[in-house]
A and B are shown apart, each in its own frame.
Chain A
Amino acid sequence: MTAGRTRGRARHFLRNWSLPKQMRGADHRTDAARSDVSDRLRPRLDQADDVGVSVCPYCAVGCSTLMYAKEGRLIHVEGNPESPINEGTLCPKGATLFSLHASPTRLTKVKYRAPYSTQWQEVPLDWAMERIAQRVKQTRDETFVEALPDGTKVNHTLGIASLGGATLDNEENYLIKKVLGAGLGMVFIENQARVCHSNSVPGLGASFGRGAATMAQWDLANSDCVLIMGSNMAEAHPIAFRFVMQAKERGAKVIHVDPRFTRTSALADIHASIRTGTDIAFLGGVIRHLLENDLWWRDWALPYTNLATIIDERFQSPSEREDGRFSGWNDKKNAFDYDSWQYEGMVVPSALSEHYLNTAESFSEMTTRLTDAPPKQDPTLQHPMCVYQILRRHYAPYTPEMVEEVTGCPKDLFLKIADTIADASGPERTGAIAYAVGWNHHTVGVQMIRSAGLVQSLLGNVGRPGAGIIALRGHCSIQGSTDIPTLYNMLPSYLPQPNAFKPQARHYDQFLDDETMPTGWWNNFPKYMTSLLRAYYGDAVGPHNEWGYQWLPKIVGDHSQLALTLAMNDGVVKGLFLMGQNVVMGGSNSQMIQRGLAKLDWLVVRDTDMVEAANFWEKGHPVRNGEIRPEEIGTEVFLMPAELAGEKGGTFTNTHRLVQWHDKVVDGPGDSRSELWFTYHLARRMKALYEGSDRERDRPIQALTLDYDVVNARGDIDGEDVLKEISGYTWPEKRQLGGFKELKDDGSTACGSWLYSGCYPGFNKTRERKADGPDGPGSHLGWAFAWPDNRRNLYNRASADPEGRPWSERKRLVWWDEAKGEWQGTDAIDFEPEKRPDYRPNWEEGATGMDAISGAEPFIMMPDGRAAIYSPSGLKDGPLPTHYEPVESPGRNPLYAQRQSPVAKMFARDDNPLHDSPDPRFPHVLTTYRLTEHHCGGTPTRGVPHTAELQPEGFAELPPELAAELGVETLDWIVISTARGAIETRAMVTERLRPLRFDGRWIYQVGMPWHFGWEGEATGDIANVLTAAVGDPNTSMHENKSLTCAVRAGRLHRRIAAE
């Protein structure tokens, strides 16, 4: 070693030794210290050999993701910076998509539990498929009913049911309903949408014509006021909330009305705490405030709503009657007669899927009058029976003082909010309302959503930039599974499933006649229905056999999830498919569900991980409570590994109707397969099993079209082939159609879902990814496809005045161009493009269909072209939102003698006991909710360590005052109980929950997340053990946001054995 080198080393050492470095006070770059690893460092995405554009499979915001793969394995998932929704960002759940897909706990083999067995065994996929097909055939053959005793054809089986769809692709939902419904005759076909957002369909549909969010999420950034109510948006939809924050930064006011102070409240300008279930009283107060202080927008509301329409003189509102009910109560039926609710002199059909009314024997005959003349109106609003005057009388009792008494929100705070909402109205300003399941999980949920419709209709906040109502949905394709439904009462695109008890539904021509609305867009009904039957049954149907109409299974009542729960317990349903729906977590009265599962003959669970619904026989509450032993449970269980978004190609429909394709990037692990694969191969096997049958009941499955090519060795079919059928083509040439305007009622077109027609106009429009640049119009028409016809802001004709001019430059969206003779705008026009603003129907000759809608009536799905402030038809609980207490309430109804909704569905029976109101045994109010860190039933997020660690255990939030009474502190164990069951959990004592004064006493509200179960890394007891099977009269939506409970310190005696 030379002296020089030694000196050099010494110098280097002295320079980099920490003591002289610190003495020198310099941390300058020390290149010598940079290691080889640092020099070679690169982002690992550089190694990717494939990138797929995908969609996050968590909530319905629809964030676009980029999935990077190398040699057929996923290496990372990033937010897609090109997306106008998430612009590269993701929430904590979306940020774990790599871990979710690559999770080592994912199922890779079919697990099989034989009847009465105490263990799982792994079985080959092929064996499981054949065994399932045999079981389906056996149960179907044993339970199939061709006709009721009176001869009414039903052609259905009540013995097999299917649950799940909101997490699946549209193509999968389409095929499930097609194969299981139209092919095998099942009617118990339901998905999470029923217990998530089913109230949105009639809530929004009865008001505006379509049961979906009226605006795009990104349009929230253009709002001057955003009211978030019935939603904890920042937590449950963080990426949608970014647009609220953008609006706030531009000066908008953000209001949060919610029982709990949440992360949303923390970012809002104003938060008001209300008692759960009192939203209608609050919004009714807002409506009264708008009317009595003349804060509503006359220029918009008068021409565009039915405010001036005159109602039948027999009509009376609950506010005018001692019994606190609408006129028309029929004690014998325990329901309303709807005659007195109608427009004066005419019966009005509803825009909802069941267009009929049960008051009229021959409904279609009575409604032809709508084609003779428009509904009677009094534009001066003086007529005592015009909607405006009825509205004033109806909401007269909803004073600020009454709002305070009912909701617990102080009067002054209420008035501040009412004025802030009112301020975002008029030509220059708009306001938006965002809600989620907080307005769904109630027996009056449809009417809560209707209340928002009323507020927005009075303020002119529909169809305009930054205006509207956004329904924030919870699953990636829960909008899609509503549009292309796996729901019992609807066929795709809101066509009704035929009902055996409607005399008009006996034959296809009568059915068409009955369901076709004489006026408005729904006049096209026969084109859509016949095209669907052509898509289902192909050449096997035609005019000679009523287009196969008789093959469609007929419903005979409520076949919703709640009814299904009872039917399992009563032994009616014997076989069940769970397609990604963990019903033990998300269903009301979880113990009743678990007991029901234990009574099944067979159960097919398709999911990515072990779920509570699959191993209830081992770890469920009835087992751990000693009620039943696994050896006594005869349910044959198949737990099949399913694929995630990055493992299959298909579309999700997000919360604002945006249909986005997600690429298949990698194969799912092991024997994981998509629901498309499963349904296709089940159908193939069923066709083979029924091949030789000459029974009429087996004709539908024989005739069902199944022309999809298998594209790989795994047996996958191509989702695009199904999407083409959904979008529609000519028959028999299969030339893709440009949109629903090309559909015909003569069998020359086939279309699986008319509202989606045009999503595949010869190319996959749902895969298009061209966002507007920063200087673009911001409607992003080149980014995927939105139904209908790529329109982004529904009812946008209302963004122009009756003459077709924008209300203001600031709020301009579409306008009439006289020179071109058509509507122009920055969005696809939601109106007839060439209909002049001054077009008026020629009533003397009679006007039908769209000819009956004037050029100044923007709500084309409504029979009279106007938003329904007053809804004469379609809703079973009344034409106007009315405050009724939850089924389980802590006190009386301060507004009416009628305490709870007179038509709420009560499934009160021994296994579903309900509380009195008030009930001294259950003095506290319980509400259930979600956290940012977990997703719904929690299966994916509880299993992924990076989300599990963020909220690692179940808990319930309670106010300090209640905690002090109980003598508990945060993290102490508490037991929460209802008549349905008891659970133990940790206490989270927080001042974010405040006691409220109600009915002469202090009310404590307790909140509990419903994510936790016994599987996964983040565990806890199931909140839905506490909830009851009670339902909204319109939708059978459960009431899990508002019930009563008891709370005590301590633990339950029994614990899960595994702990």
Chain B
Amino acid sequence: MSFDLPHEARKTAGTEIEPGRAYGFFTDTSVCIGCKACEVACKEWNQLPAEEDGLSGLSYDNTVDLSATTWRHVAFIEQMDHRPDGETPEFQSRWLMSSDVCKHCDPAPCLEACPTGAIFRTEFDTVVVQQDICNGCGYCVPACPFGVVDLDDVDGKAHKCTMCYDRLKGGMAPACSKVCPTDSIQFGPLDELIPRAEDRVAELHERGTTDAYLYGAPGHPGATGGIEKLNAFFLLLDRPEVYNFPAAPTRPANRIAPALGTGLAAFAGLALVAATLLGPRR
């Protein structure tokens, strides 16, 4: 073997991969060229089938969404600077491109919702669905605030990005980040990625790109509603909604205690009413 696989990530991501450390993706959309190599590399590595949805008409986006068989998805947002006077503008506008992926939330609502233990948090702090345990109940699907988890039409089970769990175990960076031509997708330990991302925002601000901000890093938009951080976080150049991200995602579990309390109270109340109305007449 001519290449030293266990340490490949050292060359491709500048990092060693060690169990017990938290890893993630920093997707810097300011350098994404929309080539979709991430989508393809993901499908090739994970042996996912192509979808046959045809031409979408949505700019150059024909995969349209993340799904059980599409774990990286590049969004294309064409923006035009319309002048108020109705003159044909000199074209200097934006075409935003951004590669979406499972956020590997911390804590992860899908994992919390999973009744079988099929979804678990790995030794790399990533969130993985184990299809050999999953029974296809689908609780995780509505639990995900980002619409990532999906049940597959063929096996009926939940599927999503694993952050290439098998590759990580072999010391290799995930397929999507390795393949990315412009390093828009960066893989690494979160304690290195987060400061790197914050530096990047500062640098862009210095250069005049003042609309750049982080989404999903601790203390930033996206890390809200009981979600402390997204292990796959983003640098965005416009509002989250523009990229089809929720402005303030929340963790459904936040609502469990109040909902359970309310439910129990309602149950008690109903029981009381029932007892009152239907109880044996004296």
| Stretch with Cβ within 8 A of A (4 or more), from B144-152, B165-173, B238-246, B265-273 | B165-173
- Report whether A18 and B139 are in contact in the complex, using a CB–CB cutoff of 8 Å: yes
The residues in B between 69 and 101 inclusive whose CB is less than 8 angstroms from any CB of A are: 78, 80, 88-97
Residues on A with C-beta less than 8 A from B277 are none
Complex partner residue of A245 from B31, B78, B178, CB under 8 angstroms: B31
What is the chain A residue whose CB lies nearest that of B12?
A88
The residues in A between 211 and 245 inclusive whose CB is less than 8 angstroms from any CB of B are: 234-235, 238-239, 241-242, 245
Chain B 118-144, CB within 8 Å of chain A: the 1/0 string?
111111000110111100000100000
- Report whether A955 and B55 are in contact in the complex, using a CB–CB cutoff of 8 Å: yes
- Report whether B165 and A38 are in contact in the complex, using a CB–CB cutoff of 8 Å: yes
Residues on B with C-beta less than 8 A from A239 are 181
B contact residues, total (Cβ < 8 Å): 83
Complex partner residue of A88 from B11, B92, B106, B113, CB under 8 angstroms: B11
Chain A 74-96, CB within 8 Å of chain B: the 1/0 string?
00111101100011111110111
A contact residues, total (Cβ < 8 Å): 89
- Report whether B60 and A44 are in contact in the complex, using a CB–CB cutoff of 8 Å: no
What is the chain A residue whose CB lies nearest that of B125?
A29
Q: How far is the CA of A990 from the CA of B53 in the complex (A)?
A: 21
Interface check A270, CB cutoff 8 A:
yes
**Contact A43-B62, Cβ < 8 Å, known A22-B253, A25-B107, A38-B130:** no
- Report whether B253 and A932 are in contact in the complex, using a CB–CB cutoff of 8 Å: no
Residues on B with C-beta less than 8 A from A87 are 11-12
Q: How far is the CA of A933 from the CA of B36 in the complex (A)?
A: 8
| Stretch with Cβ within 8 A of B (4 or more), from A45-53, A106-114, A124-132, A510-518 | A45-53
Q: How far is the CA of A271 from the CA of B95 in the complex (A)?
A: 12
- Report whether B133 and A35 are in contact in the complex, using a CB–CB cutoff of 8 Å: yes
Residues on A with C-beta less than 8 A from B1 are 48, 51
Q: How far is the CA of A79 from the CA of B78 in the complex (A)?
A: 31
Task: Tell me, rounded to whole Å, the shortest Cβ–Cβ distance linking B103 to chain A.
Answer: 13
Residues on B with C-beta less than 8 A from A90 are 37, 41, 179, 181
What is the chain A residue whose CB lies nearest that of B9?
A81
- Report whether B182 and A96 are in contact in the complex, using a CB–CB cutoff of 8 Å: no
The residues in A between 261 and 291 inclusive whose CB is less than 8 angstroms from any CB of B are: 261, 263-267, 270-271, 273
Q: How far is the CA of A92 from the CA of B99 in the complex (A)?
A: 13
Complex partner residue of B132 from A37, A78, A91, CB under 8 angstroms: A37
Task: Tell me, rounded to whole Å, the shortest Cβ–Cβ distance linking A111 to chain B.
Answer: 26
Interface check A964, CB cutoff 8 A:
no
Interface check A949, CB cutoff 8 A:
yes
- Report whether A95 and B112 are in contact in the complex, using a CB–CB cutoff of 8 Å: no
- Report whether B34 and A261 are in contact in the complex, using a CB–CB cutoff of 8 Å: no
Q: How far is the CA of A420 from the CA of B216 in the complex (A)?
A: 37
Interface check A720, CB cutoff 8 A:
no
Residues on B with C-beta less than 8 A from A897 are none
Interface check B40, CB cutoff 8 A:
yes
Q: How far is the CA of A245 from the CA of B245 in the complex (A)?
A: 26
- Report whether B3 and A51 are in contact in the complex, using a CB–CB cutoff of 8 Å: yes
- Report whether A18 and B112 are in contact in the complex, using a CB–CB cutoff of 8 Å: yes
Chain B 179-213, CB within 8 Å of chain A: the 1/0 string?
11111000000000000000000000000000000
Interface check B59, CB cutoff 8 A:
yes
Q: How far is the CA of A43 from the CA of B5 in the complex (A)?
A: 9
Interface check B264, CB cutoff 8 A:
no
**Contact A82-B166, Cβ < 8 Å, known A53-B2, A95-B41:** no
Residues on B with C-beta less than 8 A from A25 are 107, 112, 226, 253
Interface check A467, CB cutoff 8 A:
no
Chain B 1-38, CB within 8 Å of chain A: the 1/0 string?
11101001001100000000000000000010111110
Known: A245-B33, A950-B62; 10 extra A-B contacts, CB below 8 A, are A16-B117, A32-B117, A35-B130, A38-B122, A38-B130, A41-B165, A66-B3, A82-B11, A242-B182, A947-B40
* Interface residue ranges, B against A (CB under 8 Å): 1-3, 5, 8, 11-12, 31, 33-37, 39-41, 43-45, 49-55, 57, 59-60, 62-63, 78, 80, 88-97, 106-108, 111-115, 117-123, 127-128, 130-133, 139, 165-167, 169-170, 172, 178-183, 226, 252-253, 256-257, 260
* Interface residue ranges, A against B (CB under 8 Å): 16-19, 21-23, 25-30, 32-38, 41-46, 48, 51, 53, 66, 76-79, 81-82, 86-92, 94-96, 98-99, 234-235, 238-239, 241-242, 245, 261, 263-267, 270-271, 273, 410, 413, 931-933, 945-953, 955, 970-971, 986, 988, 990-992, 994-995, 1017
